[in-house]
Chain A
């Protein structure tokens, strides 16, 4: 669940300024992991290599190996497309739906707007994890059901955000003027309102990706998400538990990866926020 931080112009972007390049580097790395894992990962993430079982980090295996002798670093690299990929998909789908919904609601106004927002309230109150459990129970486990349940949880945030913005922008002088001139509501929405809304939404999307990633990995950790041997990060952490005392690297590195990704998304989101006008 995310709440974007409002930053008045007075706030200097100092710490963010220092970290932003780092975050962008992380972003670049992640993009590489997602798009061309085969080029980056030094070893096969799935093939068993028992003689290398549970080896600590070394030059050959920077993140060590797991119980099947597989290189943890390679698994993390290949896992990016599952963990991060699903997170991004969730955020984009919910944003898309939420934005449309919120925009329509805001433009419609009156009773319809009220009703639509009540429905949003309903979704807001629904406990995320329980919904995930219930959907996993009926649809079966897997990244698909995780994506579905998390999307259902995420879209209300965007709906509310956009509706709020639309309501605010509707009252602006230039919009009122356009209305007075007889411009259709739809065109107003498209040309005068959406561009401003998009900026807000972008900030939120960026930070939300980090939150969504954590949520996806949490559900995999509970056993609701990906299945072996998919190197999804949350699943890696779950698989690492029986060996933790003997192989700390198996738990630490995937977790650090999640943390780094989420923090980077947070920093970039913050940077976007401080850049937007008023």
Chain B
């Protein structure tokens, strides 16, 4: 079957070459197996991997960053930017066009950001410190923030730019219905079609302002393959060129086969972290939580990751710009200390329930490790595996004591948004309802500080607060490991993403 495909592919290219010599197409198709089907491809609402797969490649953003050094921002739709207190000024790239031919300019930036903040979903939380957006001239935009923040440009590296015309003319609801399943961006790939239940098809935008590698893919098919085993087997058997979230054992096994190699990188902050419910007994007792943290078998996690993980010392990974991790004390299993903490808590024969989002074997495994570790303290842990929203609702409504979740931070340099979502009052992922007024203040203050060393100190203080409260059990911080076929090149792990593919960097090796 593969041979046949290759022959027909070559035949197609030759035919095209004979018929229209002006075409610079390669005729190459890339098949990506994603872990789910988008519910929407509206960049203002997309926030799960498989939705971002589409939006990241079809739209552009004002700013990009160097994947190997995230603190180094790179120009994208904006070529220059500077901060002056609460005012940021962005100069835009000239001559950029949307897929439908419309010109990109400052009005698009304003319309996009206004819309995003109004809708309030998706990645809007990354830029919710924006007060107002003003068009200075077609290639200059001024953004006022509520308080000075050094991170705005960096966070804008995650906000896709839409066309103000689309927003205006496709319905009164800010064109929400239209953007759900249509896309018109300036990006490297153009949206072609969406076959529900099966795949989304993209085609290369050869008028893109950016640079494609040699032998880029003209056609990208983003397939929805919900089962990890199917994704693994599909990559191994050649049906898919690349897949998202391939189970680790499969990834390692496949990469060691001939025809495949391993791509490794850092992007996960914890995989997973266990959130303890601060409002429900027995986890509302600090000593009890401490006991769990100390009893947890971190080695078991390391063994399950087969050398590709480390035990975190706090919320922020060491490779993140300005991370306090190296100064944090090591976290390791200490059963004696755990028992002492349990005794101090005065709780005995405790029972607790853990809700675990289904679909990620690592989450389930971590919960199992917690179960067996807690059993050594005489604590019974019951595990319930539920779909994501149900799982997080269960703990938020105090029907469970713990919640298991993998973490990643979508901002390349801003840790405060991550803290806000996970450790501040009202944060969506703050499932255990942690609250510390000092932490609230620290996080509010951090972005206003212009000295990086000072910010690092504040971040350490913030991390210490979370660590000392024993709110989270950080079970492991693994590297992301992806098997890439030798015939494909260019795949890199994005440190500020949940594992996605930048199709515009991929190329064929054959």
Contact = CB atoms under 8 A, between A and B. Distances in A.
Say if the two chains contact directly (CB < 8 Å).
yes
Interface in A207-264: 223, 227-229, 239, 241-247
B383 A245 contact: no
Given A46-B372, A48-B372, A53-B303, A245 B365 contact: no
Interface in B204-248: 227-229, 232-233, 236, 247
Nearest to A229: B368
A68 B365 contact: yes
Contact of A241 (B227, B300, B367): B227
Nearest to A70: B368
A51 B302 CA distance: 11
B299 to A, nearest CB: 7
B384 A244 contact: no
A247 B249 contact: yes
A220 to B, nearest CB: 11
A239 B229 contact: no
A106 to B, nearest CB: 44
A243 B356 CA distance: 19
A270 interface: no
Contacts of A53: 303-304
A46 B368 CA distance: 9
The size bracket of the interface on B is 20 to 34
Interface in B380-415: 382-386
B494 interface: no
Interface in A40-80: 46-48, 50-51, 53-54, 67-68
A48 B249 contact: no
A242 B385 contact: no
The size bracket of the interface on A is 20 to 34
A237 B368 CA distance: 17
Nearest to A50: B303
A51 B372 CA distance: 15
Contacts of A50: 299-300, 303-304
Contacts of A141: 384-386
A48 B361 contact: no
Interface string B147-172: 00000000000000000000000000
A51 B232 CA distance: 24
The main secondary structure of chain A at its interface with chain B is loop
A246 B253 contact: yes
Contact of B365 (A67, A227, A247): A67
Contacts of B34: none
B192 to A, nearest CB: 32
Contacts of B383: 227-229
Nearest to A140: B384
Contacts of B384: 141, 227
B369 interface: yes
A243 B250 contact: yes
Nearest to B387: A223
Nearest to B362: A242
B361 A228 contact: no
A45 B368 CA distance: 12
B297 A48 contact: yes
Contacts of B365: 67-68
B227 A246 contact: no
A228 B227 contact: no
Max chain B CB contacts within 10 Å: which of A50, A51, A53?
Answer: A50
Contacts of B253: 245-246
16 contacts: A48-B369, A48-B372, A51-B303, A53-B303, A54-B249, A67-B365, A68-B304, A223-B358, A227-B382, A227-B383, A227-B384, A239-B361, A243-B229, A245-B229, A245-B249, A246-B250
Interface of A: 46-48, 50-51, 53-54, 67-68, 141, 223, 227-229, 239, 241-247
9 pairs of A and B residues whose beta carbons are closest in the complex: A242-B247, A50-B303, A241-B229, A246-B249, A242-B361, A228-B383, A242-B228, A50-B300, A245-B250
Given A47-B372, A67-B365, 15 more contacts: A48-B297, A48-B368, A67-B249, A68-B304, A141-B384, A227-B383, A227-B385, A228-B364, A228-B368, A228-B385, A229-B368, A241-B227, A242-B229, A244-B229, A245-B250
